């Protein structure tokens, strides 16, 4: 049942949206709404109508799955059927908003004759965050409700605000508590019915602005300059401009015509893929849904450096009491003092762990010491005897074997990897690494902890570099190979950053430290790329920290400047130019091929987990949906052929297509089935 019809008082009909989990505007809901609107319109005992949801959600907007399967415009569509019906009703329809009204849900509410909301109700047109734009009149009605400038800001940023922030605007006619929301909405609807037609409506208002054309021109320029600019944002501005000169109903038709190509674009499909992938990632295929998660009330973090203090920040912000330990008590004290200054962390939430005996009272320990197996084993052996039975012992390692660490303890089932990405309070990705003996409860507890910290988890199995770093290393290798062939590092970075990556591979290597990467590789020189990287280290070009690496850096040690001296290190002392498309192919094909190996070996559960890892952890452009989706869109037969061509041209076996790619290419398959 998508709509419940009740009559709480004489003359009033209440239609309650009941379409779990988020009251989406799916086809069954639209059918039920139309049927019930017809029913109350034909009922002479009904004088006024209230449309409402529940305390959590009025309506969360379109069902995105229908955009994917092509049923979003099935009868009765919001634009062609429901909105015209509402406008033609002889009885006023009032939206009673107790929870969130987002996207198409807010558009539906704005096409009602009036709106009553609780002060905390969350309102917003969030379509641009999904690569889309409002397509059911939001660009026409929101400027009429709150003014042109505020509407542009809200729409372009997909911003959600509390209903109380719209007090004094035409968006909300009246406020009520959750307890009397229906009563207030019903009274308003009856008073409108008594006044008779024509009913007041947002569509009858005009958009007033002294310099609308100039304002919109500036907004377009600023939007184009944004790193996260999408076509949906730019087209939304075109649709908003229509509100200045056209009646709302005519603007609605033109807006919808603009919306459809945006909805069907590759960019919007990729961003929708990312949306679904985030929701799929926490689902572990062999983890029973009934697995109990242990509540984490108190945790300890070992290591008070950049990562350790960042992890403590994440835990404390989630309402968990944290003990922070470091071999240097002074370092731990400084980190605790700094954390205490953050307004989102409650006072006394973080304190210094001075004695290991205090670990007897914690539910979780996360070590974040130097990336050395010997150092981490030593920490685990010291901690293990002090922990209570059932307490989790986690490592923040990004590369090391979690099973080896588990063997150093008496609690292998409670040992797990929790790989945070830096800076931990900012980065949303959490790579959960399950060992061979990690218990189902440990996994469930880690997933619950991720939700509590507002992280997006992917669950990986043990393997060198797990999911993210293993594939990212192949990107770095491919970049090094290009440099060894004479392609300037700054050209590679410029092309990949132009594609949308937040930071190119050579800038990333300079940030990490070329000496650190050399140590991780064991000083290997068995490829031309590795030999070139070692030549840099031999010249103490470590990166930002030394002022020189693949780039040179100014006094601030942040701004990367192309360094002519790099040419002397390239083959034959001269650089060669390469077409941007070939640079992109080389780097992305390396990632995709390694991703296929990761899937074959069961390190990653699904291709979309790899996409999420790179979207959230490595700055891959969201508009491309991730490296594996990008490969799907290119066609895996094309990917296979390009890999074979590279193997032939370079003579390197690393370009041999993974068996999974070859099989899917033969079958016409894809990595991501949805």
DSSP, collapsed to helix, strand or coil, labels residue 582 as helix
* Residue 604 DSSP label: B
107: annotated active-site residue: yes
E strands in 516-652: 552-553, 560-561
Calculated CA dihedral for residues 157, 160, 166, 170, nearest 10 degrees: 70
Q: How many C-beta neighbours within 10 Å does residue 209 have?
A: 14
How are beta strands 12-17 and 3-9 bridged, if at all?
antiparallel
> Active-site residue among 41, 66, 107, 540?
107
> Active-site residue among 127, 241, 367, 594?
127
Using alpha carbons, select from 221, 261, 254, 255 the residue that is nearest to residue 236: 255
What secondary structure, in 3-state letters, does 387-410 show? Answer: CCCCCEEEECCCCCCHHHHHHCCC
Q: How far apart are CA 239 and CA 196, in angstroms?
A: 32
Summarize the chain as % helix, strand, coil (round to 5): 50, 15, 35
Q: What is the DSSP string of 478-543?
A: HHHHHHHTT--HHHHHHHHHHHT-SS-HHHHHHHH-HHHHHHHHTT--SSHHHHHHHHHHHTT--B
- Exposed e or buried b for every residue in 96-106, given b needs 16+ CB within 10 A? bbbbbbbbbbb
Q: Which contacts qualify for 397-401: CB closer than 8 Å, 24 or more apart?
A: 397/371, 397/433, 398/371, 398/465, 398/466, 398/468, 398/469, 399/371, 399/464, 399/465, 399/466, 399/469, 399/520, 400/371, 400/373, 400/376, 401/373, 401/462
Q: How far apart are CA 413 and CA 384, in angstroms?
A: 13
Which token pair is 243?
A: 């509100």
H helix count then E strand count, the chain: 27, 20
Q: How far apart are CA 468 and CA 610, in angstroms?
A: 7
Q: How far apart are CA 108 and CA 230, in angstroms?
A: 24
Calculated CA dihedral for residues 108, 109, 114, 120, nearest 10 degrees: 180
Give 266's contacts (C-beta < 8 A, 6+ positions apart): 633
Which token pair is 92?
A: 């006023």
- Answer positive or negative: Cα dihedral of 411, 414, 417, 421: negative
Q: How far apart are CA 83 and CA 29, in angstroms?
A: 14
Residues paired with residue 459 on neighbouring β-strands, in sequence order: 432
Q: How far apart are CA 283 and CA 276, in angstroms?
A: 12
Question: At which residue do the structure tokens 């309102």 appear?
Answer: 123
Active site residues: 107, 127
């Amino acid at each position: 049942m998508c709509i419940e019809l009740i009559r709480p008082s004489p003359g009033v009909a209440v239609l309650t949206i009941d379409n779990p989990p988020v009251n989406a505007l799916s086809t069954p809901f639209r059918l039920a709404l139309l049927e019930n609107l017809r029913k109350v319109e034909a009922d002479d005992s009904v004088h006024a109508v209230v449309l409402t949801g529940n305390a959590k959600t009025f309506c969360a907007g379109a069902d995105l799955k229908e955009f994917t399967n092509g049923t979003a415009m099935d009868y009765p569509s919001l634009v062609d059927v429901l909105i015209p019906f509402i406008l033609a009703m002889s009885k006023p329809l009032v939206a009673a908003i107790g929870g969130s009204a987002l996207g198409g849900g807010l558009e539906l509410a704005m096409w009602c004759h009036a709106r009553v909301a609780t002060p905390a109700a969350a309102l917003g047109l969030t379509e641009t965050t999904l690569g889309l734009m409002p397509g059911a009149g939001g660009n026409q009605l929101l400027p009429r409700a709150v003014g042109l400038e505020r509407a542009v800001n809200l729409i372009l940023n997909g911003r959600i605000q509390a209903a109380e922030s719209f007090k004094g605007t035409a968006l909300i006619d009246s406020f009520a508590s959750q307890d009397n929301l229906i009563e207030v909405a019903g009274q308003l609807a009856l008073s409108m019915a008594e006044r008779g037609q024509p009913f007041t409506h947002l569509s009858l208002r005009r958009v007033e602005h002294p310099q609308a054309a100039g304002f919109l021109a500036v907004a377009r320029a600023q939007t184009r300059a944004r790193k996260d600019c999408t076509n949906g944002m730019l087209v939304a501005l075109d649709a908003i401009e229509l509100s200045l000169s056209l009646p709302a109903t005519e603007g609605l038709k033109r807006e919808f015509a603009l919306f459809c190509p945006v909805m069907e674009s590759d960019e919007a499909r990729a961003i929708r893929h990312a949306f679904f992938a985030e929701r799929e990632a926490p689902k572990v295929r062999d983890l029973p849904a009934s697995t109990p998660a242990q509540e984490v009330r108190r945790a300890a973090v070992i290591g008070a450096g950049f990562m350790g203090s960042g992890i403590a920040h994440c835990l404390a912000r989630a309402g968990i009491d944290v003990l922070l330990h470091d071999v240097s008590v002074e370092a731990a004290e400084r980190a605790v003092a700094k954390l205490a200054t953050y307004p989102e962390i409650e006072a006394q939430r973080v304190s210094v762990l001075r004695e290991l005996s205090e670990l007897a009272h914690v539910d979780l320990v996360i070590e974040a010491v130097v990336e050395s197996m010997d150092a981490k084993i030593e920490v685990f052996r010291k901690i293990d005897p002090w922990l209570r039975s059932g307490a989790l012992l986690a490592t923040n390692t990004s590369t090391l074997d979690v099973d080896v660490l588990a063997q150093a303890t008496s609690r292998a089932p409670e040992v797990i990897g929790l790989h945070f990405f830096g800076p931990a309070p900012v980065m949303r990705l959490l790579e959960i690494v399950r060992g061979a003996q990690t218990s189902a409860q440990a996994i469930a507890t880690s997933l619950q902890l991720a939700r509590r910290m507002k992280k997006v988890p992917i669950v990986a199995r043990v393997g060198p570099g797990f999911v993210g770093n293993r594939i990212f290393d192949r990107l770095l290798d491919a970049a090094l190979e290009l440099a060894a062939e004479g392609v300037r590092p700054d050209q590679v970075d410029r092309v990949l950053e132009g594609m949308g990556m937040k930071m190119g591979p050579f800038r990333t290597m300079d940030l990490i430290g070329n000496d650190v990467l050399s140590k991780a590789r064991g000083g290997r020189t068995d490829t031309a790329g590795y030999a070139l990287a070692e030549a840099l280290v031999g010249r103490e070009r470590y990166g930002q920290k030394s002022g020189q690496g693949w780039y040179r850096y100014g006094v601030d040690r942040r701004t990367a400047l192309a360094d002519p001296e790099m040419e002397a290190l390239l083959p034959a002392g001269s650089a060669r130019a390469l077409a941007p498309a070939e640079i992109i192919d080389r780097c992305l094909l390396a990632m995709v091929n390694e991703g296929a190996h990761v899937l074959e070996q069961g390190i990653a559960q699904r291709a979309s987990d790899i996409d999420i890892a790179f979207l959230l952890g490595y700055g891959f452009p969201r508009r491309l949906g991730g490296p594996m989706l990008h490969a799907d869109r290119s066609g895996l037969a094309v990917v296979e052929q390009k890999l074979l061509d590279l193997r032939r041209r370079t003579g390197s076996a690393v370009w041999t297509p993974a068996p999974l790619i070859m099989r899917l290419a033969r079958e016409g398959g894809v990595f991501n089935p949805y």
